[in-house]
Structure 1
Amino acid sequence: MVTKTKFAVGVVLGAALAGTLAATPAVAAPAAQAADRHGRVEGTYRSYDDCQDAGRRGQRHHQWRRFDCDRRDDHGRGGRHHDRHDRDDWVLKVYR
């Protein structure tokens, strides 16, 4: 009799706990969405083409949904003309 009672109490408590966990909203989702909106730096590249190649490779392997190759902030190096063939100036930013 005691064994049947313990089993019944366990089943009832287990079902109640499962229902509570299923009804609990996910807390981490908004933080993940905010991080995705701003992106994450994956690496720096010597050329625009190298950055684009790395970004496409990541997309092909489903490591991220989209990417941008942005000019690295030069913090006032001044007067230098930038074009897409400058060296050491490209940052791969990815969005999951």
Structure 2
Amino acid sequence: MNIDKETVEKVAHLARLELAEDEKEKMIADMNKILGFMDKLNEIDTSGIEPLVYMTNEINTVREDVIKQEITHEEALLNAPKHDNDYFLVAKVIEK
């Protein structure tokens, strides 16, 4: 497959991008390089290769949660732009 100006314009439209004419030419070259690389990968025999699902053999390598600092309810409200005694006040975004 070869990328042309029409294909770049279609992809740019789908991605909601506005490209100048010189950017379209650069994009054509870049996209053709990407497809060329993919063609090279398709030449490799991968029939005996298991698909890679994870980048490591480690399982559940997460740390334990450790409480490092606790703040009070009042401290949490100190930097809020708007608040009352108990809650953050935010603009209404959903109408009934």
What TM-score comes out, normalization by structure 1 length?
0.27
Higher share of residues assigned helix? 1
Q: Considering Cα pairs closer than 8 Å and 6+ residues apart, tell me whether 1 or 2 has the greater RCO.
A: 1
